[in-house]
Amino acid sequence: MSSIKPLTEQTSMVQRPVEISFAIACFNGLPHLRPAVQSALSQTDIEVEVIVVDDGSSDGSIAYIRDLALSDPRVVLLQTPSNMGPGGARNLAIEEMKGDWLSVLDADDLIEPYRSRRLIDAAQRLGADLVADDLLVFGEDVAETRFLSGNWPISGDWMTFERYLTDSVLFGKAPNPGFLKPIFHRRLFADHTMRYNPELRIGEDDELVMRMLHSGARYLIVPEPGYRYRKHEASISHRLSPANCGRMVEAEKALRQRFEASGPLPRAYHKRWKALLEAQSFVCSIEQLQNRRFFAAAKTLLAHPSAIRLYRMPIFARFQRLVSRLLPQKTDEIPGLAD
């Protein structure tokens, strides 16, 4: 890992302590990286640092952040030794963060200027370890819409472990909390095992939050939107490959073992596990059909027959793109699945 810090640090006046550190993992994200970084730097009434972790870009992202870091003492550039994925890149930022709070910001998203101050004040007032707000979904030719859509009281509420299990069912009907972008107090990372799973390229946020909640972390939901979530169009098969789905299943097996060691699994967890296995069968069967391996696809679906219902989704997705274009999907995500 290499890092570049501003020359101005040597001559700048003493600044107030950093309250919040932003972790932005970047892989060829230059088109949207500039506004993302500027939205973090434009937070009001709070001292920030913005840690951009370049994960092997070749599009000029490094040069942009290097120049910015040399002129703005709040910006730090880190570089991974090889492509590590978003989780591995964020782990580097966790090790370097100076703030009391960590905010993960995707390189193509934006945040409102008041977001950090509002979330930290709410967390400190109520004693939360992590706190998230609603997402404002937007994109090219997309009508802005709120993700939670009134599923939480105006005054906010606690995200319990049980509710997270219930709402995070893959392809479920409820807004999946894995899409939310909580800020984390640094005390959560005092346990050095509390890091992103670097093996996951999809669902790494979900897996980390699950472990935190199971360990007793207090998770507050503030329903006002402050995070602007950019929607991208891509096929379901591209967003969730058999390989990535296999990694998710292996990570979930480790979670099961962790949870079972402390007592019986909640009923809601069994639904989450079943939905993940169905999704794996669905994705694998799609690839098999694309390769004209019809017998293999049939065998895969017979292992989890309820996965057949998921074949309605491509038709539904095409219809939905024409009508509303409202689902919060990115190039590495699927409906009901966190990144």
Q: How far apart are CA 314 and CA 318, in angstroms?
A: 6
Strands (E) located in 203-311: 219-230
pLDDT at 239: 67
pLDDT at 204: 94
To the question of pTM greater than 0.75 for the whole model, the response is yes
Kindly report each contact of residues 279-283 with a partner whose C-beta sits within 8 Å and lies 24 or more positions away, as own/partner. Answer: 279/170, 279/171, 279/240, 279/245, 279/307, 279/310, 279/334, 279/337, 280/242, 280/245, 280/246, 280/248, 280/249, 280/304, 281/307, 282/307, 282/310, 282/311, 283/236, 283/237, 283/240, 283/241, 283/242, 283/245
pLDDT at 330: 55
Q: What are the residue ranges in the chain where pLDDT is below 70?
A: 1-14, 155, 233-239, 314-339
